[in-house]
Amino acid sequence: MTIRPILIHPDPRLKTRATEIGQPDDTVRALAADMLETMYDAPGIGLAAPQIGLMQRLLVMDCVKEEGAEPRPMALIDPVIEWASEELSVYEEGCLSIPEQYADVERPAEVEVSWTDLDGARQSERFGGLWSTCVQHEIDHLDGKLFIDYLKPLKRQMITRKMQKLKREKART
């Protein structure tokens, strides 16, 4: 397993729709393992393939946060939101591609998502709480959408300028 470099916003790949995978092969399984390792290392609770520059509809997540609880690494291929609750909830979101920036985002409180697992079987599950926010945030990545796209333009521009500065500083070192 390899820790992959995570793209930092702004990057055209983070604004591009990723393509369907279909049946996973060993390459996709190895990629999912790398993405989980990269996510845990960051550390983060979710990561989508475009964030490491691969334009495929694959995301990983693990929103188990309780101390000492069993981790639940998940890999979702070609995920689809089948249903979303009318009830909304607000979470303060962050993103590994937008380090150290956080903002409240309102999304459906519950969603039912279907996806293909690493063995090629179609699965579905209803997610609530942090899992719901996380899976919606990651599916957005597959559609070239970032959580800052939900913010007011001024706030979004402020964050983007900070990220441009961060990238310039990183490029220099």
Residue numbers annotated as active site: 138
Provide φ and ψ at 131, rounded to 5°.
Answer: -60, -40
State which of residues 35, 49, 95, 159 lies at the interface with Zn ion (CB under 5 A). 95
Helix (H, G, I), strand (E, B), or coil: what is residue 40? helix
How many positions of this chain bind Zn ion (CB under 5 A)?
1
119 vs 139, beta carbon nearer Zn ion: 139
28 vs 48, beta carbon nearer Zn ion: 48
Q: How far apart are CA 30 and CA 130, in angstroms?
A: 26
Instruction: Classify residue 12 by its DSSP letter.
Output: G
Contact segment (CB under 5 A) with Zn ion among 64-72, 82-90, 92-100, 149-157 equals 92-100
* 61 Cβ neighbours under 8 A, 6+ residues apart: 39, 45, 46, 47, 74, 76, 131, 134, 135, 138
52 vs 95, beta carbon nearer Zn ion: 95
Check binding of 49 to Zn ion (CB under 5 A). Answer: no
Residues that bind Zn ion (CB under 5 A): 95
